Every structure is written in C-alpha cells, then in structure tokens.
A and B are shown apart, each in its own frame.
Chain A
Amino acid sequence: MNRNRLQDLIPRLVLSPSMALILIFVYAFILYTFYLSMTDSRMLPSYGFVGFDNYEKLWNLRHWWRALTNLAIFGSLYIVVCSVLGLFLAILLDQKIRGEGFLRPIYLYPMALSFIVTGTAWKWFLDPGIGLENTMHQWGWTSFAFAWIKDRNLAIYTVVIAAIWQSSGFVMAMFLAGLRGVDSEIIKAAQMDGASNVTIYRRIIIPMMRPVFLSAFVVLAHLAIKSYDLVIALTGGGPGQATELPATFMYSYTFTRNQMGIGASSAIIMLVMIFSIIIPYLYSELRPGRQR
C-alpha cells in the first residue's frame, strides 16, 4: 500500500524540479520584467513606480516603430520563404536522389553555425566593394549591381537572405521527415486512379503536411522575433537605423542606453507578440480529444 502511494508520487516528484526551475527562471522573471517596465530603472533595476510612462515613451519613439515595421517585413518574408523553400527542397530531395546523403548535410549545416561565426563572411559577401558585386565585375559583368546592404530601403532584405540561408535547411529536414512519414499505400492508390504526380502532391501530400507547416511556423516565428545576432553581425542595425528589430532595440535600450524601464516595456510587448502566436497553437494542439 505504502509502496503504491510512493509509486503514485514518483512521476510528480520527477517532474517537480523542472517545473520549479521553469516557474522561477521563466515565469517569475517575466513578472519581474513586467514590474521593471513600470519603474524608473535606468542602468540597474530601481523601484520608483511610474505606471505606464515607459510604454507611452516607447510608442512615441520613431526608433521602436521602425523596429516593428522591420519585424513585419522581415518576419513575414522569412517565414513564408523558409517554409516554401523548405518544402520545395524536401520534395526534390524525396525523388530518390542519388547523393541525398551528401546533399542533406549541406542544406542543414547552416543551422549549426551562429552568426558570430559566419557574420564576417556574410558581410564580405554582401559588401559591394569586396563581395558579390566586385566578383561579378572581375568576371566581366561590369553592369552588375548588388548594393542592397548600403541602401536603407533595401538593407532589411539582405538580413532576410542571410536568415533564410540559416534556417531553410532545417525546415527542409522537418518537411523531409514529414514526407517520409506518408503512407505509400495512399500514393499507390492515387496512382492507380491515374492521378499525375503534380496532382498527388497538390491534392494529397501537401495537405497532409499541415502539422509540419504549423511546427515550422512556430519555430520560425519565434526565431524571427528573437533575431538578434544576425542583425548585429550583418549591419549593426544600420544604415542609420534601417535594420533595427525589436530584439536589438530591447538590448540596446536595456544595456547600452541605460534606459532599462523602456527596454523592459519593449520586452513585455515582444512577449505579448510571441505568446499571442504560440498560445492559440498550443491550445489547438493540447485541447482534449486530439491526444495521440
């Protein structure tokens, strides 16, 4: 009897250290940040209460609006292109390709590298003076122009290019895993009915990838909102402030501008954005009756 009660308790005991750590290091910290956002904290936390002043200041900053606009451009392009490209590459790789084992790690490896590592190479590549433009000129194509990184209206798109380079292979792997999981009986049946390959993909297989799309969306969306080292490595937020994102904004206000109150309020806005994407997804995943 006693042993049984112990057995009943063990699962929860096993879970409790993780739960305790997460309650402290995640949820208590979020509450603390929320509180900081209501204080006059500058270099270090201080506790003079100022209500929603910081939020008011935040929304009055041109800088913050720029960061949000950039996130909208960056985030939507990044998520859409990564998903489409990932699916496209996965479908191509799934055609009994010789050398798949060779190509797959090539597509996948960028995810293993941080931008501290690849930042200089990217900067070079995008720089018209030494990079792609210069190379094309040396190869004789002298009218070739690629100076987006120097153009404040286009620089954000170079950030997108590098970000897609890093994550699209990973999304490809997710889709490939999804494709490999499709029951071949279904496809055979469709082929018997005389469906063409294109039709099979469009009508049967791609719709079956819905859960992968969702997972990919969640992974990419949170990477987009948290994007930081990418921007720092490529442009440092420039030209001017043309490539600032909310994460770089928050870091710079909290740690280099000594305006921790405003930094904290921008962090809270970011969290609200993240959670408003993730929670509906989680809810649809976890609602009773959809358990596998």
Chain B
Amino acid sequence: MIIRKFAALAAGAAALTLTAGSAVAEDTVEVLHWWTSGGEASALNVLKEDLEKKGVTWQDMPVAGGGGSEAMTALRARVTAGNAPTAVQMLGFDIIDWASEGAVANLNDVAEEEGWADVVPAALQNFSKYDGNWIASPVNVHSTNWVWINKAALDAAGGKAPETWEELIAVLDKMKENGITPLAHGGQPWQDATVFEAVVLSLGNDFYKAALNDLDPEALGSDKMKEAFDRMTKLRSYVDDNFSGRDWNLASAMVIEGQGGMQMMGDWAKGEFLKAGKKPGEDFVCIRFPGTQGSVTFNSDQFVMFKVGEDKQAAQKMMASAVMNPEFQSAFNVVKGSVPARTDVSDEAFDDCGKKGMKDLAEANEAGALFGSMAHGHGAPAAVKNAINDVVTQHFNGELSSEEAVEELVNAVEAAQ
C-alpha cells in the first residue's frame, strides 16, 4: 500500500524531471561560483542582469565553502561527466591546471577584438592565457599584503602607522600594554599563510619571488627563511589564545570594535569595516604590510570559460565580453573591495583605500613588483601551496621550531612537486 503510493510519487517525480531537463532555453550560460554572501552575490547580479538584457539566460550554480574548494570538487565531477558549466569562477594555478587538461575554451577572437592584452596587467595574463590563447576573463584583483588598523588603537599607541618591521613591533608592544589584543587573527591555514607571505615579502621582493613563486630550494632553505619563521613566532605572541579556527571576518570584527589592534588580511576585509559604518582614514587605517610598500601580492578571480557545445558558444562569448566591460568591473569591485582587473577603469567610484589599491597595483605592475600570492593559489600549484600551508600552520601553532620548519618546508615542497 505504502509502496504503491511511493511508486506513484516516484513516477510523477521522474516525469517532472524529464520535462524540466528538456526545456533548455536558447542562449544560456551556466555559471559555477562561490560568491553567495549578500554583497558578493548582489555584485554578481549586475553581470546577470546585463546578460539578461542581451537575451542570455543565467543558470546559477553556487557552491560555497572552503574558499572555492567545494566548487572545484563539483567541477571535477561535472567535467568528468562531460557536463561542464559554461563559466567557472577560479583562482590562479587551478586555471592553468584545467587548461593543461584541455578542458577550456578559446577566447582569442573576443580578446583581440576588445584589446584585452593592452588593459590587463601582464602578471594577470599569466593566468588568463594558456599557450598564448585567452581562456579566461579576469574579474578583479585582490591584494593580500594589507594591514587594517583600528585608528583609535593606533592613536593610543603613538599614532604613526608603522613602516618597518621594527616600527610594527613597537606599535604591537604598545597595543599590548594598552590592554587589547594587538593582532586579531584567525587560526586557519590560509590565514596563517596570508600573514606568512607578507612577512616573506617584507624580507625582499627577490626573496619572495625565489622562494614562493620559483620555489627555489636554496631560498626556501635559507637563513632568511628562518628569519621569516622567527618573525611569525614573534607575531604569534601578539595573538590571543582563542584564535584557532576563528573566521577572518570575526577577526575583522575584533578590530572594528577595538578589542583588536590590527589585522593582516587581504583587501576583502575592507567590506567588513565599511558595512560596520566605519570610514577609512577616520575609524580605521589601511597600510601595506610594513616593509612591503611598493610591492603587491595579488590574487585574481577569473571566469574561466569551459568547452561547451556549439549552441552555447555565442552566449559564452557574450559573457566573456560582459565580464570585461569597464562599467561592470567598476560596479563589481566597488562592492567587493577589490580593484578592477583592467587598468583603464576610472577610480572615481572607489573610496580612499580602493583608490590607493588601484594606484599601488598600477605602480607595482610598472616596477615589476607584482607577484602572485602563494597563500591564494597564485604562487604555486595546489599541491605545493597546501604543503607550504601545512608547514606554516604547524609552525604557527608551535608544533615546529623555526629550524625544523625551514627543513620541513624544503622537503614538503620537493615532495609535492
């Protein structure tokens, strides 16, 4: 009896899915992404509405979690099944890996027509092109070597924003005396690594490039690297004991509310400050990590276009072009806290920190001081990135001494390659 009812339901459900499957509109893009928080999603909605005006239906496939790692798992299943989405939000070396599997589309004609090569920084193009062919539309550039300081806490600690490691330590010490948590930090491997790469960068551009982009074993095993780990130990002493597992936005909240003095985090942290009604320059200060002025470590969200059937290619190209539209790049990045991937977008709509970010990016690009962020997948492939994260996290949690960490780092990177 029960079973018969179930069977009827099952048949009905099957019929429903069949009809749903066959009703595919003509021009559609299916987009896999992990921008599901309010601000990000409404920023992306700009793109969706733009495409809908052009008669392209947006099929949304949001998968949040783990900074995109859940989405990447889903993507693997989709591509293996021969059911790739039209466009996928992706970061850094993941793009290269997918391109080398031959799974991505070719956007050369759109790119040439619109002259992308002239407006996208070369360091970004390394990830938007593979084998000389355009495969992705970059949406934004985040830079990771920022420090966010509570203005009141800074004033109480002398008022001068630190520009060198020594000054930074002095400010942190002062904040500690003043009875707040000097460094608001969340103990998750990627956050530890974000601080670590800034520390490495503060020891020199060449050192950063050799160690975290070129993975030179000599640089990885050098005394400078030990110095970097020693600095991490020093920074650890300014973090409260309750840090492990804390989400980054909770660490931002500590700085916003004045329990914490500063946070070392990428520019996405700005959104938290703005949403709390704080004004850059008045309530909080944004500076480059002391010792890294003039250099930028970046990560860039891009929409990688996958190989799809001919019926979907027209819409795919339209989307690629829409992402590169300066108006979208401006509108999206104002909300997201990042800066446009195009260098020719007006900075009018951006706030002070945003303007500074755009200027820094352009200057670093000119000076050859724009490097891929290791912590965010633009320094090395996933296996190496995670191997480095492992070591950094273990060291930061006191499981390894600085000497052991250097040794382990060399071994781990070699084993992961």
A256–B393 touching, CB < 8 Å: no
* Chain A residues, CB < 8 A from B381: 258
Size bracket of the B interface: 20 to 34
Interface residues of B in 193-243 (CB under 8 A from A): 241-243
Segment from A90-98, A99-107, A235-243 that makes contact with B: A235-243
CA A239 to CA B189, docked complex, whole Å: 9
A43–B76 touching, CB < 8 Å: yes
A152–B399 touching, CB < 8 Å: yes
CA A118 to CA B394, docked complex, whole Å: 28
Given A238-B189, A238-B244, A257-B382, the answer on whether A44 and B80 have CB atoms closer than 8 Å is: yes
Q: B390 at interface (Cβ–Cβ under 8 A)?
A: yes
A240–B188 touching, CB < 8 Å: no
A241–B390 touching, CB < 8 Å: yes
B242–A258 touching, CB < 8 Å: no
CA A155 to CA B101, docked complex, whole Å: 40
Segment from B31-39, B66-74, B171-179, B319-327 that makes contact with A: B66-74
Given A255-B69, A258-B382, the answer on whether A152 and B76 have CB atoms closer than 8 Å is: no
B245–A235 touching, CB < 8 Å: yes
Q: A138 at interface (Cβ–Cβ under 8 A)?
A: no
* Chain B residues, CB < 8 A from A235: 245
CA A129 to CA B245, docked complex, whole Å: 12
For chain A, what secondary structure do more than half of its interface residues adopt (helix, strand, loop), or is it mixed?
loop
* Chain B residues, CB < 8 A from A236: 188, 245
Q: What is the minimal beta-carbon distance from A245 to any residue of chain B, in angstroms?
A: 16
Q: A218 at interface (Cβ–Cβ under 8 A)?
A: no
B66–A43 touching, CB < 8 Å: no
B242–A129 touching, CB < 8 Å: yes
Interface residues of B in 45-100 (CB under 8 A from A): 66, 69, 72-73, 76, 79-80, 97-98
CA A256 to CA B389, docked complex, whole Å: 13
CA A255 to CA B387, docked complex, whole Å: 14
Given A147-B241, A240-B393, the answer on whether A43 and B69 have CB atoms closer than 8 Å is: no
* Chain B residues, CB < 8 A from A241: 390, 393-394
CA A123 to CA B72, docked complex, whole Å: 25
A44–B101 touching, CB < 8 Å: yes
A238–B188 touching, CB < 8 Å: yes
Q: What is the minimal beta-carbon distance from B180 to any residue of chain A, in angstroms?
A: 15
Q: B110 at interface (Cβ–Cβ under 8 A)?
A: no
Residue of A nearest to B244 (CB): A239
Best-surrounded residue of A42, A155, A257 (most CB of chain B within 10 A): A257
Contact with B along A252-277 (1 / 0, CB 8 A): 10011111000000000000000000
Residue of A nearest to B395 (CB): A240
Interface residues of B in 236-273 (CB under 8 A from A): 241-245
CA A252 to CA B79, docked complex, whole Å: 19
* Chain A residues, CB < 8 A from B383: 42, 257-259
Q: What is the minimal beta-carbon distance from B53 to any residue of chain A, in angstroms?
A: 36
* Chain A residues, CB < 8 A from B73: 255-256
Q: A226 at interface (Cβ–Cβ under 8 A)?
A: no
* Chain B residues, CB < 8 A from A128: 242
Q: What is the minimal beta-carbon distance from A86 to any residue of chain B, in angstroms?
A: 29
A256–B386 touching, CB < 8 Å: yes
Contact with A along B118-147 (1 / 0, CB 8 A): 000000000000000000000000000000
Q: What is the minimal beta-carbon distance from A74 to any residue of chain B, in angstroms?
A: 17
CA A128 to CA B188, docked complex, whole Å: 17
Q: B187 at interface (Cβ–Cβ under 8 A)?
A: yes
Residue of A nearest to B93 (CB): A258
A152–B397 touching, CB < 8 Å: yes
> Which of B242, B244, B382, B397 makes the CB contact (< 8 A) with A256?
B382
Interface residues of B in 371-400 (CB under 8 A from A): 381-383, 386-387, 390, 393-394, 396-399
CA A60 to CA B393, docked complex, whole Å: 19
Q: What is the minimal beta-carbon distance from B319 to any residue of chain A, in angstroms?
A: 24
CA A97 to CA B245, docked complex, whole Å: 42
* Chain A residues, CB < 8 A from B387: 257
CA A236 to CA B192, docked complex, whole Å: 14
Q: What is the minimal beta-carbon distance from B176 to any residue of chain A, in angstroms?
A: 19
Q: B415 at interface (Cβ–Cβ under 8 A)?
A: yes
Best-surrounded residue of A42, A123, A127, A258 (most CB of chain B within 10 A): A258
Q: A222 at interface (Cβ–Cβ under 8 A)?
A: no
Q: What is the minimal beta-carbon distance from A234 to any residue of chain B, in angstroms?
A: 8
> Which of A123, A242, A252, A258 makes the CB contact (< 8 A) with B97?
A258
Given A127-B242, A149-B245, the answer on whether A256 and B189 have CB atoms closer than 8 Å is: no
* Chain B residues, CB < 8 A from A42: 97, 383
Q: A57 at interface (Cβ–Cβ under 8 A)?
A: yes
B76–A255 touching, CB < 8 Å: yes
B188–A147 touching, CB < 8 Å: no
* Chain A residues, CB < 8 A from B79: 44
> Which of B72, B97, B244 makes the CB contact (< 8 A) with A150?
B244
13 A-B pairs whose Cβ atoms sit less than 8 Å apart in the complex: A44-B80, A61-B415, A127-B242, A150-B241, A152-B399, A238-B393, A239-B187, A239-B245, A242-B397, A257-B382, A258-B381, A258-B383, A259-B416
* B-binding residues in A (CB < 8 A): 42-44, 57, 60-61, 63, 123, 127-129, 147, 149-150, 152, 155, 235-236, 238-242, 252, 255-259
Q: A63-B390, A152-B398, A258-B382 are in contact. List 6 more A-B contacts (CB 8 A).
A: A147-B241, A152-B399, A236-B245, A241-B394, A255-B72, A259-B383
Nearest 5 CB-CB pairs, A to B? A239-B244, A240-B397, A258-B382, A256-B69, A255-B73
